Amino acid sequence: MSTVITATINGRAFRGEVEDHELLLDFLREDLGLIGARQSCEVEVCGSCTVLVDGLPVSSCCYLACDLDGKVVETIEGLVGTPFHEVLSDAFVRHGAVQCGYCTPAMVLTAKSLFFDDLLKDEESVKKAMRGNLCRCTGYRAILDALMDIAASEPTVELRAQA
């Protein structure tokens, strides 16, 4: 069985057929070649497959592609080149917050949703909000440093004001 869906993916209209059992993660990676969403735990715990659907982070490993109908999807590939991605990337690089990189695109996407909802505030609340994104390399300190850095910086505050 398959379904025809209409969705906005990284700012572009998509209309096409997807298998009813097809996972969003497989749809993005295999059908669209958007490899930035990574497969790991497959049970919606590690967060490395995170993409934004209607602005909110979802685990694409446990989300059916057919449920995208009428929705707006943003993956890391869509975020690249935006002012937010530049600012956050600079902070991640500056703080050494990237190691193996497998979880990184998902971290960036979750951080984006927090940032534009004005939820990047103090360390404790950010730890809580980011707990659904696991990283085995960094020990989180560097990522938290990068996030707190942009949370307070002037260019990013302006970015949010514009949004």
The reply on whether position 9 binds other proteins by CB under 8 A is no
The reply on whether position 103 binds other proteins by CB under 8 A is yes
Phi-psi region at 79: left, alpha or beta (left = phi > 0; alpha = psi -120 to 50): alpha
The distance of closest approach from Cβ of residue 29 to other proteins in the complex, given in angstroms and rounded to an integer, is 8
Write each residue from 71 to 100 as x if it is in contact with other proteins (CB under 8 A), else as -, in one continuous string.
----xxx--x----x--xx--xxxxx-xxx
Sole binder of other proteins in the list 70, 83, 139, 155 (CB under 8 A) = 139
Rounded CA-CA distance 24/49 in Å is 9
The reply on whether position 155 binds other proteins by CB under 8 A is no
The answer to whether residues 50 and 135 touch, using CB atoms and an 8 Å cutoff, is no
Rounded CA-CA distance 128/106 in Å is 16
Number of residues that bind other proteins (CB under 8 A): 53
Strands lying side by side in the sheet with 72-74: 12-19, 2-9, 72-74, 50-53, 56-59
Q: Which stretch binds other proteins (CB under 8 A): 1-9, 62-70, 112-120, 141-149?
A: 141-149
The reply on whether position 64 binds other proteins by CB under 8 A is no
